[in-house]
Copies of this chain bind each other. A is one copy, B any other.
Amino acid sequence: MSIKFQPPDDAAQDATRQHLLEAAGEVFAEVGFHSATVREICQRAGANVAAVNYHFRDKDGLYAAVLTESLRLSLKKYPADMGLPPKATPEQRLHAFARSFLWRIFSTGAESRHGRLMAREMVEPSAALDPMVKEHIRPLSDLLMSIVSDLLGDKADPQTIRLCAMSVVSQVVFYHHCRPVLSRLFPSVKFDPVSIDHLADHITRFSLAGIKSAAGKRAPACLPGK
């Protein structure tokens, strides 16, 4: 029988379908779902206006496809295991986590779209956020919490682990999310590779000290009474 083989990795299956995904990724990341127009996307893709409705049911279907595709791209370039040495110290693993996270977020290629799309999801969550958290963010979160747990020691309660883990990621995503304010407050700060590495160093040192402090917490220490 002459049934067509499944294309090896659905690569270059349909030309216009791929062009559409590419163009839509750009436009959605640039102006967001609502401000993005099907016409603009199709024009960039060199396709007809009806192409979106033919290949992806509707605009929402296209957006969902873009989101999962952008995630695939981002994971391909920055795998979740982020090239750690197999028997690294928790300190090294924390540093690798922060650094790779920063690199992922501040990448400049097509794989940077996922970060920008996710930033928009934060302010206007779509139906595609749930699976995104389950399949992508949850594993990263678990990985970080295991690192933090190792740093805190055995007697750390889950809440402390969670708080410390959030303190780490917050510093990472902050520079991406608040960039409009940062660039206005400090026009001199750049996000070139060496700056990003310096940033990773700072975040790691800062967080290691914070975690160590949280590990030995008993009384609220130097905090003023409520």
Residues of A within 8 A of B (CB): 31-32, 34-35, 88-89, 91-92, 95-96, 119-125, 129-130, 133, 137-138, 141, 162-164, 166-167, 169-171, 173-175, 177-182, 184-186, 189, 197, 199, 201-214, 217, 220-224, 226
User: Chain B CB within 10 Å — which of A130, A174, A204, A212 has the most?
Assistant: A174
Q: How long is the Cα–Cα vector from A91 to B221 in the complex, in angstroms?
A: 11
Q: How long is the Cα–Cα vector from A220 to B220 in the complex, in angstroms?
A: 29
A32 and B133 form a contact (CB under 8 A)? no
Residues of B within 8 A of A217 (CB): 205
The residue that A185 contacts in the complex, of B89, B91, B141, B175, with Cβ under 8 A, is: B141
Q: How long is the Cα–Cα vector from A129 to B178 in the complex, in angstroms?
A: 12
Residues of B within 8 A of A130 (CB): 184
Residues of B within 8 A of A167 (CB): 171, 202-203, 206
Least CB separation from A209: chain B residue: B213
Selected A-B contacts with CB under 8 Å, 9 pairs: A88-B224, A122-B177, A133-B181, A162-B189, A166-B174, A167-B203, A167-B206, A201-B223, A208-B213
The smallest beta-carbon distance between A69 and chain B, in angstroms, is 20
The residue that A163 contacts in the complex, of B122, B202, B208, B212, with Cβ under 8 A, is: B202
Residues of B within 8 A of A182 (CB): 166
